Structure 1
């Protein structure tokens, strides 16, 4: 499988320049690319509480539909973050878009300080099938809680996709924790982080792909760019041949497992 990290900046509280960046990356991608992973809320940046009502859109909104049309035109799947409006609430949401539509949608469950008062936390840690692979999505601060990644692994996830907008001075935190989340769950982890600046924040970049044994396969610096990475999903089962952290653990998660539509499952947060 060929995955592309798209480490790009965002403008906060607006849509059009961010959409243009995303569409340009999709258009320029190699035809052999299976999946492009973009940063957290990259289609709207980080809107303020006053701005979110003006820029947030439903999943059927014009911005996400424009990305979907590009995905369908190229035959490439993407993971992209946006500010979602639904039933009077706003969510920090990431979707996996395939040419067939939304393959998986996840609403950030653990809100960072700047999310509080802007977004409503999600209540489900979800997985779904994409190209025959069970995948799960987390967003930025989510990876600082080991239970979140474990909840996805407990549902059978083999591939963890993380949209990120981690800033200085916390870059080393996520750079270390994404390795731990991959290794302790024996899954591939793909994390795309925002770069550049916004307001008084400087974003850390350092997007990365990690193997199920914790080996860093590919990593980026702090600058804007893309990076193509080949991963072999056979490494997931190979990593579990001699031991399985999931099978050998003695303290399971107590959250309720439920089946969503089709092949999607979720652990519900109480």
Structure 2
């Protein structure tokens, strides 16, 4: 699978401008591109609560349809984010459009970040995967990657590749780089993280997008603010799982907590004991 890590500047609450930049990247992507991955809230940026109704979109909105059309014309899958409005409220949502222009996967961010998400978005509650170019793909958004349970949920759904649509600001950029390497290694799958660049809402976004293989090896990263490409070989997933498999070998042990003195007389201990 050939992936374009399309890190880009995003204008908060300016859907038309962001859409224009996205469509340009899709039209001009290299001919052998299978998948383009954009950052978190690519279309909308981070809206304020009073901007949700004017910036929010549904999966049937014109900008989404235009991206579907562009994906179909180029036979390229596209992953992007936006502010989704629904009957249940607003969500920080990612869509994965396949090469025929159909919505293959929708994911709503489950772990909300205080500065940009709280008071604006509701939290999602589901994880899912789909197949793109012979790889099973799942998606996470920004802060999600800091929680091992999110990537593990996708691994349990047999994901070969985890896409992380990122909107991570300075000084926290290195946190997600470290986290995505760990998530790839501990779940023996590829991970691709694409962050935005530039300024927005008084924040600075460093890019630092990265692709990691199932051994935790960095395959490519962007250090100059430009999009980068990477080729993923599914055989690498099989190699990482050949001798040992974390999902097979892990032990799920129910635990209970007991407080008190330990057997050797040390007081005030807290013990985790199989329940």
Higher relative contact order (CA 8 A, sep 6+): 1
- Determine the structure 1 residue equivalent to 2:68: 68
Query: 2:252 & 2:129 partners in 1: Cα distance?
Result: 21
1:129/1:50 CA distance change after superposition, 3 Å: same
Q: Map of 1:189-228 to 2, 5 A cutoff?
A: 189-223=191-225, 225-228=226-229
Q: Measured at CA, do residues 100 and 28 of structure 1 come closer, stay the same or move farther in structure 2, by a change above 3 Å?
A: closer
Structure 1 residue 130, shift from structure 2 partner: 2.5
Find the counterpart in structure 2 of residue 240 from structure 1: 241
Aligned with 1:191: secondary structure? strand
Q: Give the deviation of 1:88 after TM superposition.
A: 4.7
What is the DSSP-based 3-state SS (H/G/I as helix, E as strand, rest coil) of the residue aligned with 1:125? coil
Within 1, Cα distance between the matches of 2:22 and 2:56? 17
**What are the equivalent positions in structure 2 for 1:50-61 lying under 5 Å apart?**
50-61=50-61
List structure 1 segments (4+ residues) > 3 angstroms apart after TM superposition. none
1:36-55 to 2 correspondences below 5 Å: 36-55=36-55
Distance 1:252 1:34 in 2: 41
Tell me if structure 2 keeps the 8 A contact 1:56–1:90. yes
CA contact (8 A) 1:204 1:222 kept: no
Q: How many residues get paired? A: 252
- Report the 3-state secondary structure (helix = DSSP H, G, I; strand = E; otherwise coil) of the residue aligned with 1:238: helix
**Corresponding residue number in structure 2 for 1:6:** 6
Contact 2:71-2:101 at 8 Å conserved across structures? no
- Structure 2 portions without partners, runs of 5+: 255-275
Which has the greater radius of gyration? 2
The aligned counterpart of 2:86 is 86
SS state at 1:7 partner: coil
Aligned position for 2:106: 105
TM-score with structure 1 setting the length? 0.91
Contact 2:190 2:237 in 1 (8 A): yes
1:222 CA drift (Å): 4.9
1:53, CA displacement in angstroms? 1.3
Q: Does residue 16 of the first structure (1) align with residue 3 of the second (2)?
A: no
1:23-80 Cα offsets, whole Å, 9 max, x none, are 0100110111000000000101000001011111110001111111111111111101
SS at match of 2:68: helix
Q: CA deviation at 1:250?
A: 0.4
Kept in 2, the 8 Å contact 1:126–1:152? The answer is yes
In structure 2, the CA distance between the partners of 1:240 and 1:88, relative to structure 1 (3 Å rule), is closer
TM normalised by structure 2 equals: 0.89
Counterpart-to-counterpart distance in 2, 1:118 and 1:207:
26
Report the Cα distance in structure 2 between the residues aligned to 1:27 and 1:67, rounded to whole angstroms.
10
| 1:251 counterpart residue number | 252
How far apart, in 2, do the equivalents of 1:221 and 1:78 lie?
Answer: 23
